[in-house]
């Protein structure tokens, strides 16, 4: 294998002769200077201060958006996108006999509300406005606060279509 050693020795010597330490330093210097000029002109998001304003508006006003405050523990398709409303099932479906609940804060008035999430049953999945939020949601052994279950299980038809979010109580501040 001496020929291999000789080969690599020759190559290494040639590189060492043609590339000095100074030229390596010059290349690194150029890279630094280039970066200093290029970075400031790269595009970046200048909307930062207002970026969350739209999101907050959706959380208060748009019940077809998963960001809407009442959906804080909803896992399913929003009935508001499937021909129903936020608290009534679309025509041709029936509301689940059993349900899970969540507690969500309304950013509009700062109050906490108890929300009943009922599935709408009897027709195949709506498929629009999928939403999966899990604030204060608990695993299946706490059934009433678990959302990853087909709550149509107690209805005549178990087919799941979408989910509504009705207010069933409001929290009162103690003090
Ligand atoms: N509760 C909504 C849902 C339905 C079917 C499967 C998972 C979650």
69 catalytically annotated: no
> Model confidence at 59, in pLDDT bands (50, 70, 90)?
confident
CA atoms of 68 and 53, how far apart (whole Å): 14
What's the confidence (pLDDT) of residue 142? 79
100 catalytically annotated: yes
Asked whether the whole model's pTM tops 0.75, one would answer no
Query: Phi, psi at residue 141, to the nearest 5°?
Result: -75, -10
What's the pLDDT tens digit per position in 66-114?
999 999 999 999 999 999 999 999 999 999 999 999 999 999 999 999 9
What's the confidence (pLDDT) of residue 24? 62
Atom of ligand 1 nearest to the CA of 152: 4
CA atoms of 83 and 9, how far apart (whole Å): 77
CA of 76 to the centre of ligand 1 (A): 6
Contact present, 143 and 78 (Cβ < 8 Å):
no
What's the pLDDT tens digit per position in 2-41?
777 887 788 777 767 766 666 666 776 776 666 666 656 6
Q: Which of 63, 69, 75, 119 is catalytic?
A: 119
What's the confidence (pLDDT) of residue 71? 97
**Given the DSSP bridges, would you call strands 160-170 and 130-132 parallel, antiparallel or unpaired?**
unpaired
Ligand 1-lining residues (CB < 6 angstroms): 75-76, 119, 147-151, 160, 163
Mean pLDDT, range 126-152, rounded to an integer: 88
């Amino acid at each position: 294998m001496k020929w291999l050693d000789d080969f690599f020795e020759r190559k290494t010597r040639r590189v060492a002769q043609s590339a000095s330490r100074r030229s390596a330093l010059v290349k690194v210097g150029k890279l630094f200077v280039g970066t200093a000029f290029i970075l400031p002109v790269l595009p970046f998001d200048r909307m930062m201060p207002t970026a969350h304003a739209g999101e907050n508006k959706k959380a208060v006003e748009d019940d077809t958006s998963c960001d809407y405050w009442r959906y804080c523990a909803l896992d399913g398709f929003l009935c508001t996108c499937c021909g129903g409303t936020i608290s009534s099932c679309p025509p041709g479906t029936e509301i689940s006999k059993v349900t899970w609940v969540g507690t969500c804060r309304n950013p509009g008035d700062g109050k906490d509300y108890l929300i009943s999430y009922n599935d709408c049953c009897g027709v195949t999945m709506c498929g629009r406005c999928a939403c999966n939020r899990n604030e204060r949601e608990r695993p299946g052994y706490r059934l009433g606060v678990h959302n990853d279950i087909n709550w149509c299980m107690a209805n005549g038809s178990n087919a799941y279509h979408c989910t509504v979010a009705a207010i069933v109580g409001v929290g009162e501040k103690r003090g």
